[in-house]
Amino acid sequence: MGALDNFTGCGKCSLISGGICLLIGFICLVMGMQSGASAGDFTFIVDGEKSGSFTLAEQHCDGSLGFQISAKTADKDAFCAGEPSDVLNIEPDFLNMDNQCAFPSDEYEKEQDLVRLGSLHLLNDWPKVCSEHDSTVKFDAPAPIYIMDVEKELGEAVGGVLGAMLFTVMAGGFCLGGLICATAPCCCCRIQEGEGTPAK
């Protein structure tokens, strides 16, 4: 006699539903963990280049949170002996850059042995860059630099955290429902000894 044969038809359905809910809950938990892990991933729009350019995404043309600029720790003196903006030769030349050489490195920078140089901040005239300079920012540095799109990375980080929270809540709901469905038949839906198989 199979294990399910000890339960009424309603009990069997409840057990099977509970197992399915627990499985879905586990899948949601895994997806939540993956979403949370992705929130800490960063990508550079300029990744270790001495000279070149990058193009503003369309949403930056209405205003931008700016771009964070870093360099390898070994190259810090090449930029921070004076003003980093003086040696980066950024064009258009009306773009202003904060000097952040004294700022501590973020965790993602430490992992890649980078130091903060500064940022092209949100108060710059980004619409002008788009309308008069083909949405292009150029640079010519004495050593390789790394540039991160603050707005893009912040949006992805927030999205990753919210996604992780959503999947975690869903996992909790499915697991709780699954446990209730899987254990309830043990209390009320067993076939009593001598009853035989109930009529369908």
Q: State the DSSP H helix or E strand holding residue 186, giving kind and residue range, or none if neither.
A: helix 150-188
Examine the pLDDT at 68 and tell me if it is beyond 70. Answer: yes
* pLDDT, tens digit (0-9, with 9 covering 90-100), for 184-198: 656 655 555 555 544
Q: What are the E-state strand segments in 129-182?
A: 136-149
Token pair 């870093």 is found at 70
Global confidence as pTM: 0.59
What is the tens place of the pLDDT at every residue in 110-143? 888 999 998 887 778 888 988 999 999 999 999 9
Sequence ranges of the domains in the chain: 3-39+158-188, 46-155
3-state helix, strand, coil in the chain (%, to 5): 50, 20, 25
Token pair of 35 as six digits = 């979403």
**Confidence band for 10, pLDDT divided at 50, 70 and 90:** low
CA–CA dist 196, 183 (Å, integer):
22
The answer to whether the peptide bond before residue 142 is cis (omega within 30 degrees of 0) is no
pLDDT of residue 115: 92
Q: Write b or e for each residue in 140-177: b if 16 or more Cβ atoms lie within 10 A of its Cβ, otherwise e.
A: ebeeebbbbbbbbbeebeeebeebbeebbebbeebbeb
